[in-house]
């Protein structure tokens, strides 16, 4: 039997009538140990690529650009390419274009200068090899435009089995040299254990990146030159602060700033904390690796969302300390996560009918700093025609899944189902086993892609239901499956059939749950 996660709190019950500019090139999975990272399996296929860095000093100290002239805007009919190694789990590499070496023995945190490639071609062959062994781990042919600079960002992460998935990316470096008083910055996501992040400027609240996924890059943004503190945030510009970075920006310089390393270094395959690789694309600036600031990041408030999981309930509002955090939710709606703050850590929660303002549930609950929560608005029917509101508060304690996987949990919100079982057919993995009403299972990691689920429910009156449904799970995403409605709706007096809904937990926006399709794919 799978371990059952009980809700943090059953709220007081009241009976009531009611990106940009990057191209994936390929990905290679290997069975090499991430900790050793001394060899990459050359027989594995690559499955993803993105780019965007330049040369940096592994000591962390800024170094002057060796050839400022080479960093200037290319002349007419010139195509230039550089390589940036931002995968700490991958050994030193060699990068070739048309069998010519662009950079040899490039180690993690380093990048080459731009190298000109033949101007009379459009399709170019890229190859990447392990320097120590000569094993080829990546090969592709890609079209390059004239008068454009490109970067190959060599990123990687590990799969759920621990194998290395090499995922380089090609970015178009469409910078413009800023004025002497300003700098220009773009952000590239190469941190393997963060599904999505935002980047903001502490001094001005300027947004440099919003919701970037692994191997995506943002646009160039103009900032004042000088000392700048960058805030790495979870998902959105209002998300939790994960790390702070003190970055000196030199006037007249355009930079590519790559976020790499691991936010949760304790569970990482290598001991490389999250850091920035800062590269000067054009201008007199210098390149550097910049670690996170050691000053303590501010405590982040808890955040909360609400899910309307009962088709026979009216539209509702959720208030936290008299502030509406979810308004006018109808069946199947999921609100965005909203941060909430309290001096005591205890929060007054009130749920009301949207049309009348009538309160149908209220109580005081403790919410922990930095945690995420979901209010599941469910209900039961004690007797035909009468509704008993039964909300539940869950802790959304998910972690970012490894490459090629997604995480899923099941919430039981079907009032007449006594026992609920959900199994992933392809792997035989149990997502829920003997769940009771208002309980949830743990998050379970599954392969990304289309997953077939076997859903079985035994009702309180002896009726049973069995459904085979299909869910499409995106790589690196986290989901909650809500099992709702009645196994035997005729006995309740409400038209609320048994169904299975899917919501994305890593989304920062309001959404509607997706009814899962039944039957064959």
DSSP β-ladder status, 123-130 and 136-143 = antiparallel
Residue 2 has pLDDT above 70, yes or no: no
- Farthest CA pair distance, the chain: 81
DSSP state for residue 311 in the 8-state scheme: T
Q: Flag whether 457 is in a domain.
A: yes
Residue 3 counted as domain residue:
no
**What average pLDDT does the segment 361-374 reach?**
89
Residues 133 and 156 in one domain: yes
Indicate whether 63 pLDDT > 60: no
* Confidence check: pLDDT of 477 > 80: yes
Same domain for 307 and 188? no
Q: With respect to residue 371, please indicate whether it lies within any of the assigned structural domains.
A: yes
Residue 6 lies in a domain: no
Domain boundary among 258, 291, 324: 291
Residues 131 and 258 in one domain: yes
Return the number of other C-beta atoms located less than 10 Å from residue 392's C-beta: 24
When pLDDT is cut at 50, 70 and 90, the band that residue 399 belongs to is confident
**CA distances (Å), origin 499, targets 386, 412, 466, 482, 505:** 21, 11, 10, 8, 19
pLDDT tens-digit profile of 225-281? 999 999 999 888 888 889 999 999 999 999 999 999 999 888 899 999 999 999 999
- Check residue 258 and give its pLDDT: 97
User: Do residue 281 and residue 326 come from a single domain?
Assistant: no
Q: Is the dihedral of CA 489, 495, 497, 499 positive or negative?
A: negative
Note the pLDDT of residue 76: 61
How many other CB atoms are there within 10 angstroms of residue 461's CB atom? 10
Let me know whether 339 and 242 are in one domain: no
pLDDT band at 61, cuts 50/70/90? very low
Residue at 8 is within a domain: no
Q: Please, what is the Cα angle at 106 between 102 and 107, to 5 degrees?
A: 165
Q: Are residues 325 and 232 in the same domain?
A: no
* 205 and 353 assigned to the same domain: no
Sheet with 253-260, edge to edge strand ranges: 221-224, 182-189, 253-260, 275-282, 288-291
Pairing of strands 417-424, 386-389: unpaired
Confidence of residue 521 (pLDDT cuts 50, 70, 90): very low
Question: Cα 470 vs. chain centroid, distance in angstroms?
Answer: 22
Residue 361: pLDDT above 70? yes
pLDDT higher than 60, residue 65: no
pLDDT of residue 24: 57
Same domain for 506 and 401? yes
User: Does one domain contain both 172 and 278?
Assistant: yes
Question: 270, 291, 312: which is the final residue of a domain?
Answer: 291
Are 233 and 209 spatial neighbours (Cβ–Cβ below 8 Å)? no
User: Is residue 318 one of the residues assigned to a domain?
Assistant: yes
Tell me: pLDDT of 45 over 50. Answer: no
Asked if residue 473 has pLDDT above 70, the reply is: yes
**pLDDT at residue 33, as a whole number:** 39
pLDDT of residue 42: 25
DSSP 26-86: --EEE-S-TTT-----TTSPP---B-------TTS--B--S-GGGGSPPPTT-EEEEEEE-
Distances (CA, A) of 187 to 70, 404, 477: 22, 23, 21
Of 264, 291, 318, the one marking the end of a domain is: 291
Percent of the chain past pLDDT 90, that is, above it, reads 52
Q: Residue 31: which pLDDT band, with cuts at 50, 70 and 90?
A: very low
Is 17 a domain residue?
A: no
The tally of domains found in the chain comes to 2
On average, the pLDDT of the chain sits at 82
Q: Please indicate, yes or no, whether residues 439 and 493 belong to a single structural domain of this protein.
A: yes
- Report the percentage of the chain scoring pLDDT > 70: 82
- Return the structure tokens found at 497: 């059939």
Task: Check whether 64 has a pLDDT greater than 70.
Answer: no
Task: Please indicate, yes or no, whether residues 283 and 320 belong to a single structural domain of this protein.
Answer: no
CA atoms within 13 A on the CB side of 435: 33
Task: Determine the pLDDT at residue 285.
Answer: 67
State the CB neighbour count (10 A cutoff) for residue 275.
23
Considering only 8-17, 151-160, 250-259, 325-334, which range has the smallest mean pLDDT?
8-17
Separation between Cα atoms, residue 432 and residue 449, nearest integer Å: 20
d(C-alpha 91, C-alpha 36), whole Å? 9
Fill in the DSSP letter of residue 116.
E
For the chain, give the number of residues: 521
Q: Using CA atoms, how far apart are residues 391 and 483, in angstroms rounded to an integer? A: 15
Q: Do 315 and 287 fall into the same domain?
A: no
| pLDDT value at 126 more than 50 | yes
pLDDT score of 30 more than 50: no
Q: What pLDDT digit, counting tens, does each position of 300-354 carry?
A: 788 999 999 999 899 999 999 999 999 999 999 999 999 888 767 789 999 999 9
Which region among 40-54, 85-99, 388-402 has the lowest average model confidence (pLDDT)? 40-54
**Containing structural domain, residue 74:** 22-291
In a domain, 307, yes or no: yes
Count Cα neighbours of 294 within 13 Å in the Cβ-side half-sphere. 0
Phi, psi of 30 (to 5 degrees): -130, 165
């Amino acid at each position: 039997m799978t371990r059952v996660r009980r809700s943090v709190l059953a709220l007081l019950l009241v009976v009531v009538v009611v990106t940009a500019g990057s191209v994936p090139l390929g990905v290679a999975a290997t069975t090499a140990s991430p900790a050793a990272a001394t060899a990459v399996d050359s027989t594995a296929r690559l499955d993803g690529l993105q780019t965007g860095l330049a040369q940096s000093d592994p000591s962390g100290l800024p170094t002057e650009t060796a050839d400022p002239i080479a960093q200037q805007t290319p002349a007419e009919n010139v195509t230039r390419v550089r390589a940036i190694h931002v995968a700490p789990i991958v050994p030193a590499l060699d990068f070739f274009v048309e069998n010519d070496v662009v950079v040899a023995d490039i180690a993690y945190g380093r990048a080459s200068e731009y190298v000109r490639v033949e101007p009379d071609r459009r399709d170019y062959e890229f190859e990447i090899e392990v320097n120590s062994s000569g094993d080829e781990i990546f090969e592709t042919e890609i079209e390059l435009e004239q008068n454009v600079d490109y970067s190959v960002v060599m990123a990687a992460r590990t799969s759920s089995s621990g194998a290395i998935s090499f995922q380089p990316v090609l970015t178009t470096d469409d910078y413009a040299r800023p004025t002497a008083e300003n700098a220009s910055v773009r952000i590239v996501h190469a941190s393997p254990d963060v599904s999505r992040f935002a980047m903001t400027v502490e001094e001005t609240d300027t947004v440099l990146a919003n919701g970037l996924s692994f191997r995506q890059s943002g646009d160039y943004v103009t900032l004042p030159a000088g000392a700048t503190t960058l805030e790495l945030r979870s998902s959105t510009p209002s998300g939790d602060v994960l790390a702070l970075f003190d970055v000196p920006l030199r006037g007249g310089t355009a930079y590519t700033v790559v976020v790499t390393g691991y936010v949760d270094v304790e569970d990482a395959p290598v001991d490389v904390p999250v850091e920035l690789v800062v590269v000067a694309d054009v201008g007199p600036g210098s390149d550097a690796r910049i670690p996170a600031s050691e000053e303590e990041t501010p405590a982040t408030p808890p955040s909360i969302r609400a899910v309307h999981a009962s088709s026979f309930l009216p539209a509702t509002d959720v208030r936290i300390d008299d502030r509406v955090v979810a308004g006018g939710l109808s069946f199947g709606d999921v609100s965005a996560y909203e941060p909430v703050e309290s001096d005591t850590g205890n929060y007054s929660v009130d749920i009301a009918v949207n049309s009348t303002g009538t309160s149908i549930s209220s109580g005081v609950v403790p919410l922990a700093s930095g945690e995420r929560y979901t209010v599941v608005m469910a209900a039961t029917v004690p007797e035909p025609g009468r509704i008993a509101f039964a909300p539940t508060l869950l802790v959304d304690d998910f972690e970012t899944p490894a490459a090629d996987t997604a995480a899923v949990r099941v919430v039981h919100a079907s009032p007449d189902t006594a026992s609920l079982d959900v199994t992933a057919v392809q792997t035989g993995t149990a997502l829920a086993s003997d769940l009771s009403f208002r309980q949830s299972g743990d998050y379970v990691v599954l392969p990304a892609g289309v997953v077939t689920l076997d859903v079985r429910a035994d009702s309180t009156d002896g009726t049973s239901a069995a459904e085979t449904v299909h869910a499409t799970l995106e790589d690196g995403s986290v989901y909650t499956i809500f099992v709702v409605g009645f196994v035997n709706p005729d006995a309740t007096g409400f038209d609320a059939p048994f169904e299975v809904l899917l919501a994305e937990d890593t989304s920062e926006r309001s959404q509607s749950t997706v009814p899962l399709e039944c039957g064959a794919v």
